[in-house]
Amino acid sequence: MPADSNRLEGLLFVDKPSGMTSHDVVARVRRIYHIKKVGHAGTLDPMATGLLIILVGRATKASNFLMSQPKTYEGEFRLGKVTDSQDADGEVVEEKEVPPVSEEQMKELFDGFLGDQYQTPPMFSAKKIKGVPLYKLARKGQEVEREPRFVHIKSFDLLDMNVPDVKFRIAVSKGTYVRTVAHDLGQKLGCGAYLTSLRRTAINDIDIKRAVPLETLQEAPPSQLGRFLIPVHQHVPSHVI
């Protein structure tokens, strides 16, 4: 057990592996550090990997501030199919032939998503309607009306294209569903699309290069766990906490 574990506080930059929920990571960190007060600042879907900010101790007060920061992702989507979850974890519900599309045409499609806009959250999401997460309703085959949310896409760049697979980098505001961007782009192209991979590479000025794999935390001697914690004041204004 880390010395004075109840006094530990700070930000922990974790490189989340695929197959775990953000809450799974929080629970794992809670066990590693033997501290109850642990949270996170921005959900990643189970399929997604990359930067997840974990808040330890008094740092949990900075959750809303950190969640409001812009985020950058790299990922890949596949044209020609639509899934019920808009990503590879869902069931294919529609399949169409992919029309001929050049890199220039794809870049033009990307550019059409830039700026302020309203986006409808997917049914398979943690957003709650009357206290019930949408994904629980979706698993029962229910679909309810969702209020569009205001989002901003700062940049959307084509990294590589080998049809039907398209690699991209995107920088977005809080609350933007990248899989919905992929889905909507597929609808505009007329053949559908779904997200096959996603990695969060940055939250504001915090880069994935600073993140620690969960395995590293699990294998570290208890006396050394404190060294992975980043002081809150380095990334959060003093008035926030």
Predicted local distance difference test score (pLDDT) of residue 139: 75
- Give me the DSSP letters along 6-21: GG--EEEEEEEPTT--
| Radius of gyration of the chain from its Cα atoms, rounded to whole angstroms | 19
Active site residues: 45
d(CA 92, CA 75): 19
Q: Give the list of residues 6+ apart from residue 104 with CB closer than 8 angstroms, or none.
A: none
d(CA 222, CA 199): 29
Query: Counting Cβ atoms within 10 Å, is residue 205 exposed (0-12), middle (13-18) or buried (19+)?
Result: exposed
- pLDDT tens digit string along 47-67? 999 999 999 999 999 999 999
Mean pLDDT of 158-187: 97
**H or E, element range at 148:** none
Confidence of residue 133 (pLDDT cuts 50, 70, 90): low
**H or E, element range at 177:** none
Predicted local distance difference test score (pLDDT) of residue 121: 80
Per the structure block, which two tokens stand in for 240? 């926030």
Angle between helices 103-111 and 178-189 (to 10 degrees): 120
Q: Give the list of residues 6+ apart from residue 3 with CB closer than 8 angstroms, or none.
A: 222, 223, 226
- Look at 81-85, 101-105, 143-147, 232-236 and tell me which has the smallest mean pLDDT: 143-147
Confidence of residue 73 (pLDDT cuts 50, 70, 90): very high
For the chain, domains (ranges, CATH) are 5-68+205-234 (3.30.2350.10), 71-203 (3.30.2350.10)
**H or E, element range at 79:** strand 71-79
Q: Give the list of residues 6+ apart from residue 69 with CB closer than 8 angstroms, or none.
A: 174, 203, 204
d(CA 189, CA 62): 40
d(CA 157, CA 165): 14
Predicted local distance difference test score (pLDDT) of residue 217: 94
